[in-house]
Structure 1
Amino acid sequence: MTELSVVEICAGAGGQSLGLHLAGFQHRLAVELDRTAAATLKTNLRRLQPDDNVDDIVRVGDVADEEVWKPEDFRNVDLLAGGVPCPPFSVAGKQLGSADERDLFAWAVEAAGRMEPKAVLLENVRGLNDARFAGYRQAVIDRFAALGYTAFWDLLEAKDYGVAQLRPRMVLVALRPEYVEYFGWPKKQPKARKVKDVIGDLIGSNGWRDEYLQRWLKEADRIAPTIVGGSKKHGGADLGPTRAKRAWQELWTDAHGLANEAPGPDWNEVDHPRGPKLTVEMVARIQGWYGPDYDHWVFEGLKTSRYRQVGNAFPPPVARAVGESIASALRKTNKPEDIPAPLKVHDEVYRLLRDHDGPLTADRIQKLLGDSLSVEEVVARIDVLRRDFIVEEQQRGGRKSYVLGDWKAFRGQEDHGRHAVFAQARSRAKVS
């Protein structure tokens, strides 16, 4: 079959890139802010696309910087894909959403409008599925509809697609109308991989005493917690916050840092009561770089950087599964039995305020919703919406009414505060 084309934003070290390549997509462009991750992507794309000028395909810089690329230059590619920054939605942070200058989700939607691809694939952390972001999700779906796409959200867990960890991710797929009836979410695999299955050979490769190896194999006969890549602001490489470390302890694995090599014959339980530490290569396998199609990926940089590249990646098997579903839809090869329902309303309060011509009181909203929410709950929902949208208040006859204003999210506005933040970052980079 002819290869399909993809432009990938916030590409990282290439977890999604590899998965999409295995699903039949060729990169026309990949944009990444981190130089070391971009170097990793270049190294590996040279192998995957040997006939292309990879130095031009992989561009380093802020994806929203028009000097790095212009969406209009890549009109009518088959797919726009990306894993836009997670901190605005992560429960590990403040969940600032639109108020976080790193939020690029809404910008990616507008980029799709400028590019007019046949399909869009965007993924982010599970926190985006929280009630806190119901209005945000609704705005994304509605904006895609205005641009001529049908968009679907779903929460996918990596363990269901051949990855030995939980790693739930919110995934959005948007399609042009002619492809919608051919799309279905990828089917889950009946049996999940366990940690011992994917790294058992590695952890015992350095002469580790058999009594320890057998104990570890027994304890590691389960799915790993979500790998956490972390950021440059927060220390070195370890396997996550306190809760994750406790989960790793149940696998008799020390999550307080990484090892340079597998445990050897001199390793003993007295000095290492938490169990052995994992290497970057082991973590990469748990993240999905496991098996003949995946395990030749080379990560550039020092250990901590390589670990962050692995930990922040979209697991390649999940990207491949979703990519194959999109490719099947674009090629119209078959009609799945279970087509996702596109009409789900994520936030009915948002929808009412958006569609109503004029202000609405909380009482009126409650009545229009058929009393499914109390007045107090309606007011609480409006207060949540204020975090991502401008909500104007008006007083009429002693009663407060509301009008939904603009989405605060960065969509490319020239007067948005994100420009100042990133201008400062570029200045610091030039000085250093």
Structure 2
Amino acid sequence: MSDINVVEICAGAGGQSLGLHLAGFRHRLAVELDPTAAETLRTNMERLHPDEDMTSLVAVGDVASEAVWQPEAHRGEVTLLAGGVPCPPFSVAGKQLGSSDERDLFAWAVNLAGRIQPEAVLLENVRGLNDARFGGYRQAVVDQLGAYGYVADWKLLEAKDYGVPQLRPRMVLVALRKEYVDYFEWPEPKPTSATVSSTIAGLMGVNGFPYLDEWVERADKIAPTIVGGSKKHGGADLGPTRAKRAWEALWVDAHGLANAAPGPDWDRDADQNKRGPKLTVDMVKRLQGWLDEPSYEWKFVGQKTSRYRQIGNAFPPPVARAVGESIARALRKDKAAGTPRGDLRMHDEVYHVMRDRAEYMTAHRISKLLGGRISVEDVEKRITLIQHDFVVEQRGPAGRRSYLLGEWKAFQGQADHIRHEAFAERKRLGRIS
């Protein structure tokens, strides 16, 4: 392929967009809900694609609304469907409601792949999606993509393994048409030597910070995961209590952001400074993977809190670039992968059997079909978890109860889904982010 393109959903302010651009993909469309993040995206896309019409390249609004864009208009013309769908349904910082959270768009994105029929799919989300709680959910994604003609694989990637000085583990899904599968390999981890202080010492010391040498020594470690947060919470800070403690160990005050780097009169004994200096938005931007290189130039628009959230919620560009390059090599069939793809992980055998058989079965029957690898008791526990995200019909008394797997509760475009009412209410309250 000489021209690989991408349609990107839930594009945010463009962390994944930039990474995919650097990997060789050209955007056909980017869709983003938040107007300020979309303006950031549009501002930078104008520089990357000076000959394109930005009104057709960046769409603003609910990605699931056909008033915003028409997926079928791109059918058969898209190389890659990519996106970072909302994280709260799976985040350990929330309730992990999965399909019961009206913000969940993962199943909808899988359905979208069936509608657009790209050559490949790339979706990323928080680490919580890797929990046992969501084994059935992950298996449903893999199985549904399989029904559309793709081979899908999940992998937990950490930003620190791809040149970014923070942990930031993310669950990444890559799905490819079968003809490309033997050419795909996950990007090889290359742990970074960069640390918080080595990355932003120049920015921290630009105004004459008198304790820079001490700060450099104490902050010479990988950062905890930067958290962007949402509009329903207060001003910008660097995360929940555990993250704040981790930042304080680096001599960084995580309770908010500074407008500028500390100056020569910064007093370490002042009550407001005892945790250490605060970071600026530009420092956070650098720690999130916008490197000090011309190719990573990216301008963020909006007020300080908005810019911080745009950065904090982004997929770090170097990670997106690494995954994008692996996908691009596979699509171009550069060389066969060294690792056979026949060893793809089964995320939930119980769900898989129930979906495959589509009949009422007891836990004992399911266990037997699995060769006894999973005990009857564990099958029951697994079904309890599956019920969070799928309708499971039951009949018969306890001890002889049988189960039938029903529909996925997640939003996939249903006209009567709870998402529509909840989305409208969040929009009314100004809490869409």
TM over 0.5: yes
Aligned-partner Cα distance in 2 for 1:28–1:398: 55
Aligned-pair distance for 1:342?
Answer: 5.5
Q: Is the 8 A contact 2:361 2:402 kept in 1?
A: yes
Stretches of structure 1 lacking an aligned partner (at least 5 in a row)? none
TM-score normalised according to structure 2 size: 0.96
Q: Is the 8 A contact 1:32 1:63 kept in 2?
A: yes
Which residue of the partner structure matches residue 359 of structure 2?
358
1:25-424 equivalence runs, <5 A: 25-75=25-75, 76-209=77-210, 212-271=211-270, 272-341=273-342, 343-395=344-396, 399-424=400-425
Which has the larger displacement, 344-353 or 365-374? 365-374
Q: Is the 8 A contact 1:150 1:342 kept in 2?
A: no
CA deviation map 1:158-217 (0-9, x unaligned)? 0000000000000000101111111110111144321112101100111111xx111110
Q: Is the 8 A contact 1:12 1:37 kept in 2?
A: yes
Aligned-partner Cα distance in 1 for 2:207–2:355: 62
Q: Is the 8 A contact 1:88 1:103 kept in 2?
A: yes
Q: Which amino acid aligns with 2:405?
A: L
Aligned-partner Cα distance in 1 for 2:345–2:336: 21
Q: Which amino acid aligns with 1:146?
A: A
Aligned-pair distance for 1:373?
Answer: 2.9
CA deviation map 1:46-97 (0-9, x unaligned)? 0011110112211110000011011111122110000000000000000000
Q: Is the 8 A contact 2:163 2:191 kept in 1?
A: no
CA deviation map 1:94-118 (0-9, x unaligned)? 0000011110001001111111111
1:13-28 equivalence runs, <5 A: 13-28=13-28
**Secondary structure of residue in 2 paired with 1:258:** coil
**Secondary structure of residue in 2 paired with 1:123:** strand
Aligned-partner Cα distance in 2 for 1:348–1:149: 19
**Secondary structure of residue in 2 paired with 1:217:** helix
Q: Which amino acid aligns with 1:288?
A: G
Aligned-partner Cα distance in 1 for 2:358–2:200: 59
Aligned-partner Cα distance in 1 for 2:328–2:359: 43
Q: Which amino acid aligns with 1:321?
A: A
**Secondary structure of residue in 1 paired with 2:93:** coil
Aligned-partner Cα distance in 1 for 2:51–2:223: 38
User: In the superposition, relative to structure 1, how do residues 307 and 114 fare at CA in structure 2: closer, same or farther (>3 Å)?
Assistant: same
Aligned-partner Cα distance in 2 for 1:405–1:151: 22
User: In the superposition, relative to structure 1, how do residues 357 and 72 fare at CA in structure 2: closer, same or farther (>3 Å)?
Assistant: closer
CA deviation map 1:192-249 (0-9, x unaligned)? 321112101100111111xx11111001111000000001011110000000001011
User: In the superposition, relative to structure 1, how do residues 235 and 189 fare at CA in structure 2: closer, same or farther (>3 Å)?
Assistant: same
TM-score normalised according to structure 1 size: 0.96
Aligned-partner Cα distance in 2 for 1:328–1:29: 22
Stretches of structure 2 lacking an aligned partner (at least 5 in a row)? none
**Secondary structure of residue in 2 paired with 1:297:** coil
User: In the superposition, relative to structure 1, how do residues 396 and 156 fare at CA in structure 2: closer, same or farther (>3 Å)?
Assistant: same
Aligned-partner Cα distance in 2 for 1:187–1:378: 35
Aligned-partner Cα distance in 1 for 2:97–2:395: 26
User: In the superposition, relative to structure 1, how do residues 339 and 206 fare at CA in structure 2: closer, same or farther (>3 Å)?
Assistant: farther
State the number of aligned residues. 427
Aligned-pair distance for 1:300?
Answer: 0.6
CA deviation map 1:107-142 (0-9, x unaligned)? 001111111111110000000000000000000000
Aligned-partner Cα distance in 2 for 1:397–1:55: 59
Which residue of the partner structure matches residue 8 of structure 1?
8
Q: Is the 8 A contact 1:183 1:339 kept in 2?
A: no
CA deviation map 1:3-58 (0-9, x unaligned)? 41100000000000000000011111000000000000000000011110112211
Which has the larger displacement, 182-191 or 119-128? 182-191
**Secondary structure of residue in 2 paired with 1:88:** coil
Q: What percentage of residue pairs aligned between the two structures are identical?
A: 66
User: In the superposition, relative to structure 1, how do residues 190 and 227 fare at CA in structure 2: closer, same or farther (>3 Å)?
Assistant: closer
Aligned-partner Cα distance in 2 for 1:406–1:362: 19
User: In the superposition, relative to structure 1, how do residues 341 and 291 fare at CA in structure 2: closer, same or farther (>3 Å)?
Assistant: farther
CA deviation map 1:231-271 (0-9, x unaligned)? 10111100000000010111111101000000100001101
Aligned-partner Cα distance in 2 for 1:356–1:322: 35
Aligned-pair distance for 1:394?
Answer: 0.9
Q: Is the 8 A contact 2:44 2:299 kept in 1?
A: yes
Aligned-pair distance for 1:375?
Answer: 2.4
**Secondary structure of residue in 2 paired with 1:182:** coil
Which has the larger displacement, 409-418 or 304-313? 409-418
Q: Which amino acid aligns with 2:213?
A: Q
Aligned-pair distance for 1:2?
Answer: 3.4
Q: Is the 8 A contact 1:288 1:294 kept in 2?
A: no
Aligned-partner Cα distance in 1 for 2:188–2:357: 39
